[in-house]
A and B are shown apart, each in its own frame.
Chain A
Amino acid sequence: MSYFIMQIMPYITLVVFTFGVLFRLGRWAGSRIVHNITLAPFPQRNSQVLGIFAAEAIFFRSLFSSDRTLWVGAWLMHIALFSVIGGHIVGIYTLGEEFIYLGLSSDLSKEMSALLGVTFGILMLAALVYLLIRRFTITKVKAVTGPSDYLMLILLLAIVTIGDIMRVFEHQFGIDYAPVKDFVAHLIMLKPLPLDHLALTTPFFVLHIFFVQILLMLFPFSKLMHVFGMFANRWIINRVYKEPAPGLPNVDIAAARQAGIGVPSGEGGV
């Protein structure tokens, strides 16, 4: 089972994810922007459009104004998520020594890497729990929530909880950077790992990878497509609009007032 999850399933996941996303994006691209539905205030330059995209993507600006309590949970969750994903990439690639480039010693860098991992892992867990409680307790949110919305949160919670356990109880359940890097490298080079390799025999790691793959396979067929949807939508509604010049043809107000247009002759207007 663990051999299937770790050595065969990743390739299936890759195919499903890639072609699934391409299929969905292809369908979006096949339809057109028929009318101009840009949202006011209209940006005048592309740099302003970029500013809107950035403010929305980085700070969730609209959500900040429209639903502050959701913004707190959603923003924390996403910031923690991106930090964790970034941490995984650089941490595994450099074996936890990413901070030596900032002048830290090798040991200190590993400590730092672990500390940041725990912090953002716990933060993300807390944010996810917050979002789940929100779905159960607030009437309006309950009214828009379906079974798949709960399941998606629970799947994310499972991934994060397992990851946090591996971090916090590193010696009992965790795994070192080296075997993980080994695992990734072998996957990329299409080389199988020996059956007794740590990456295949650490139960929590296998489970973690299993759930992540489920998530990635669901990605193209679920609301996770909002990652692309956000940019696709904003591409439609946030774009440059140039106003026609004001000023009416053959109008000379000074002359009109001089001539007293509208004022009856011989008597005063108002």
Chain B
Amino acid sequence: MPTYKDMVQPVRATENDMKKIHIDPTPDDQKCDKALQYLDEMRKKFRSFVTAMESCVKCGACAENCHTYLGTKDPNNIPTNRAELIRKIYKRYFTLEGRWFGKLVGAEDISLDVIEQWYSYFYQCSECRRCARSCPFGIDTCEVTFVGRQILHWLGIVPKLHASVGAAMEKVGNHTNLPKPGLVDTLEFLADDILEEFGVEMTFPVDKPNSDILYIPSSADFLLNEYTLKGAGLFFSYIGANWTIPSIVAEAGNFGYLFDQRFTQRHNVMRLLDAAQNLGVKKIVWGECGHGWRAAKMYIPTMADRPVPWPITHIHDEVAYYINTNQLKLDPTKNSKPVTLHDPCNYARACDLQENLRTVMKASVVDFREMTPNKDWTFCCGGGSGILFDDPEMYQRRIQLSAKKAELVRATGVGADGNGILCAPCSICKAQLYPMVEEHKLGVEVKGLIDLVGKALVWK
């Protein structure tokens, strides 16, 4: 049952699922002691966590800047209160004021109920960092959610979705469990499609030795976002690149970053470095995936256990560069429908990609309408950090979590005639928004950004 004492909770991984990601779940009677031990370890390591614990003044500015609170009106979904779920334990065991004045400062003894609260509320947080942007002190509640999820993982409490994705990564090298023959088949099929639809003759090279460029697509692009993969293929063919997709890491995402920032995340990074070394590439280019791009751009330098000689950039960094230097011929009239851009939270607040997205967008479409707020003040799609649970209770939650975004999309007016495009250049955003634009009846189609580029390229 995915609820616990009136709290919604995602379906959790079984003991067997957890063993596949190398964790033996902690028995209930040891959970509290272990949780404290892990919390002690984390607080001694992460300064971003300690300062979040010790410098919040509870002003409440974060409340209405969080789409989760706006959508659910649950006081525990106010960022500072979400952090308080751990802070009350932190105070009780690791501060003088909590030990001496307990209730007065809101300290509380740890219990299984508290651990269940963590599971419920840390998996309603999108880790989108809008609270960090709005906090007068820059307290990053995302760091608290990270710590909470890491402790839960070590205790053996992980959503089934996240655990199975982590296991798939280790087994086959991508999140969707596609083995190499599946990848190659899909790509051949897409190449045929491209010839038919765009009249362009090209192939998607897989594991091609001595390539110059390693392209890392999101594995969801093979199944759900075919035009994103086609767009990237068209772009690389157009510029005449010597590129390839590695089958051992056909995955731009990194779910380890979302629940286990140790082994699971590092494993994915090491796969990437192995692939880059074996294929002899000179540069790594990332596909459309928000959390994955943050995990790659910002975390690989501190995650890799060996030197990383290859520069890593995002495909939109490259497309924007070639647009700015007038080397791409694009015909925006090929994308004539009204388009608005959803800034993926990880691009706009964690990776500084927002301006390049606009360069690419403006060169590729005729009718681009900005959403407000946008860029570093963007609201999350409601699926951030992979909370794309599809059991009925959590699915209802997802509708609530996307309500703010729906309101903003509606305000742009792109869907007024039912033929708008909501450009969301991130796999998790796409997976969240495909059903949500229907639930909220927005009259828009969800597309990636490289999809639009692929369509607008002028070949002759």
Contacts and interface: CB of A to CB of B under 8 A. Distances in A.
B271 interface: no
B351 A40 contact: yes
B75 A143 contact: yes
Contact of B78 (A24, A31, A63, A140): A140
A65 B329 CA distance: 39
B213 interface: yes
Interface stretch (B6-14, B51-59, B428-436): B51-59
16 contacts: A31-B46, A39-B350, A40-B348, A40-B351, A62-B134, A138-B60, A145-B58, A147-B105, A147-B106, A223-B55, A223-B56, A230-B137, A233-B137, A237-B140, A251-B212, A253-B238
B201 interface: yes
A46 B143 CA distance: 24
Contact of A234 (B84, B101, B138): B138
A142 to B, nearest CB: 9
Interface of A: 24, 27-42, 56, 60, 62-63, 65-67, 70, 74, 138, 140-141, 143-149, 151, 221-223, 225-226, 228-230, 232-234, 236-238, 241, 243-257, 259-264, 267-270
A145 B80 CA distance: 10
Contacts of B47: 28-29, 31-34, 232, 236
B213 A225 contact: no
Contact of B55 (A38, A148, A229, A241): A229
A39 to B, nearest CB: 6
A41 B201 CA distance: 39
A122 B127 CA distance: 41
Contact of A39 (B138, B302, B375, B459): B138
B279 interface: no
Contacts of A254: 327
B460 interface: yes
B186 interface: no
Interface in B72-88: 75, 78, 80-81, 84
Contacts of A255: 240
B199 A253 contact: no
A267 B199 contact: yes
A249 B213 contact: yes
B200 A269 contact: yes
A238 B420 CA distance: 37
A225 B139 CA distance: 13
B239 interface: yes
Contacts, number: 266
A67 B138 contact: no
A36 B302 contact: yes
B114 interface: no
B208 interface: no
A182 to B, nearest CB: 35
B285 interface: yes
Contacts of A67: 59-61, 64-65, 134
A246 B320 contact: yes
Interface in B130-167: 132-140, 143
A221 B234 CA distance: 59
Nearest to B137: A230
Contact of A236 (B48, B242, B302): B48
A147 B101 CA distance: 11
Interface stretch (B24-32, B169-177, B309-317): B309-317
A225 B96 CA distance: 14
A230 B136 contact: yes
Given A248-B241, A251-B240, A251-B241, 10 more contacts: A28-B50, A74-B136, A140-B69, A145-B60, A147-B106, A149-B58, A250-B212, A253-B322, A257-B329, A257-B459
B306 interface: no
B212 A248 contact: yes
B49 interface: yes
A30 B44 CA distance: 7
Nearest to A148: B105
B242 A147 contact: no
Contacts of B57: 149, 223, 226
A144 B240 contact: no
Given A28-B50, A31-B45, A39-B133, A259 B299 contact: no
A162 B385 CA distance: 51
A71 to B, nearest CB: 8
B263 interface: no
A269 B199 CA distance: 5
Contacts of B282: 249-250
B213 A248 contact: yes
A39 B376 contact: yes
A260 B238 CA distance: 9
A33 B47 CA distance: 6
